[in-house]
Structure 1
Amino acid sequence: MEKISVLIADDHKLIRETWSFILNNDPRFTVVAECGDSEQAVEMAKNKKPQIVLMDINMLPISGFEATEKIRKVSPASRIIGISMHSQPAYAKKMLQIGARGYVTKNSSKEEMINAIMEVHGGNKYICDEIKNNISELVLEENKDVPNVNALTEREIQIINLIKEGQSSKEIATSLNISLKTVEVHRHNILKKLKLKNSASLVNFINNVATSM
């Protein structure tokens, strides 16, 4: 199996070395280059043509945003994942708008970063859970006067959060110590209040908001 080639661009040496160590010790990846200079990152991308670029958005002498735009021109096949300490959805939105395929904050776990690389390499977009949760809060805030959102009960919000975590109805029943039938009734009411057609629409709600950016 051919390894996924990765370029790491981050101005913190410890972060670069840590991710190089982690990825190089995983048989699925090989780090072909790393640097702490954004213009050097563009040159490396041009020469190495990595499949994945992990791009810190706070870079010098040009920003990670500018470097991303340049890499898209010199190595269009490279798929870029924005990396940042910033968890504001606006940063993720800007990165995706200029051609990045993913966005992960530095609060994300090793497992989430690897998942992001695999998803983006597979042709998908990826937004980390921290950004998704922040988007969810913003959406609810923006729609606080909409009756169908405002009508959700505390229990229904609990169930939405558990569904978002990937729990099945049976698992939710166990988590909340209620019957499976009660969970199904709540799910039906949630769909009705949010005017969604099915459970898949509910599960994908946050993802759809994120990827529509």
Structure 2
Amino acid sequence: MANINILLADDHDIVRDGIRMLLEDEVGFRIVSEAENGEEAIKACKEDDIDLVIMDISMPKMNGIEATEKIKESSPDIKVLALTMMDEDQHIRQMIEAGASGYILKSSDKVELVDAITTILDGKHYFSDDATQSVMMDLVKGTAKENNSTDPGNITDREKEVLELIVKQYTNQEIAEELYISTRTVDAHRRNLLQKTGAKNTAGLVTYAFRHNLVDIN
């Protein structure tokens, strides 16, 4: 496996040191840079060859939400894994909307951290079990923002099937095999979903699906 270059962005030295200790013996993972705030994280992504950012939400100067949005705008291939606390449900939602591929609690162990990283690098999303239920319920019950003006009725039954599999973290190839269609057709459905929902990326589609109760969260 090729080396995965990781940036640690957190304003607490002890958190960065802890993550570094957890990953230092993991084959293929390299901590190549660290940042104490969002501005430093953006700069590091421009100067270093970063594959994944482990991003704290609450940081000085620029928080993880703003930093994630700017990083994804300039370098969409860089994956972002949000570091969260249990009481940051609202901010977690904003991180996903900004382009983060998932979130993990700061109290998580090495097994979950490695699982989250490998899942995200595989092109899927990772949501920490301990925080998922409350966040997903917040998405369903929360007041709508820009996406609420979009009528879910415009989405076809086939697009809903594709959307449900996207939420379940299926890859395009897996969706194609599940629905007996080509990957090109899956791409077309994905583009249509982005256009109809107003979402910017896959994370936005997941958010839209839960807001409009288009998938079963049980």
TM-score for both structures, normalised by structure 1 = 0.62
CA distance in 1, matches of 2:87, 2:119: 20
Which position in structure 1 is the counterpart of 2:26?
A: 26
Q: CA deviation at 1:109?
A: 2.0
CA distance in 1, matches of 2:57, 2:119: 20
Task: Please say if residues 87 and 130 of structure 1, whose CA atoms lie closer than 8 Å, have aligned partners that are also in contact.
Answer: no
Q: How many residues align?
A: 149
Which position in structure 1 is the counterpart of 2:115?
A: 115
Q: CA deviation at 1:207?
A: 5.8
Q: CA deviation at 1:74?
A: 2.9
Task: Please say if residues 45 and 74 of structure 1, whose CA atoms lie closer than 8 Å, have aligned partners that are also in contact.
Answer: no
Which position in structure 2 is the counterpart of 1:83?
A: 83
Which position in structure 1 is the counterpart of 2:13?
A: 13
Which position in structure 1 is the counterpart of 2:206?
A: 212
Deviations 1:142-162 (A, max 9, x none): 7xxxxxxxxxxxxxxxxxxxx
**% same residue:** 30
Deviations 1:54-96 (A, max 9, x none): 0001011011111111111232211001112244433222111
Q: CA deviation at 1:138?
A: 6.2
Does residue 40 (structure 1) correspond to residue 34 (structure 2)? The answer is no
Q: CA RMSD in A?
A: 2.5
Task: Please say if residues 8 and 53 of structure 1, whose CA atoms lie closer than 8 Å, have aligned partners that are also in contact.
Answer: yes
CA distance in 2, matches of 1:64, 1:136: 20
For structure 1, which runs of at least 5 residues remain unmatched after alignment?
143-203
Q: CA deviation at 1:135?
A: 4.3
Task: Please say if residues 12 and 36 of structure 1, whose CA atoms lie closer than 8 Å, have aligned partners that are also in contact.
Answer: yes
Aligned counterparts, 1:37-186, within 5 A: 37-135=37-135
Amino acid at match of 1:4: I
Which position in structure 1 is the counterpart of 2:193?
A: none
**Highest Rg: 1 or 2?**
1
CA distance in 1, matches of 2:50, 2:73: 13
Q: CA deviation at 1:115?
A: 0.8
Q: CA deviation at 1:100?
A: 0.8
CA distance in 1, matches of 2:123, 2:64: 21
CA distance in 2, matches of 1:50, 1:103: 18
Amino acid at match of 2:56: D
TM-score for both structures, normalised by structure 2 = 0.61
Amino acid at match of 1:128: S
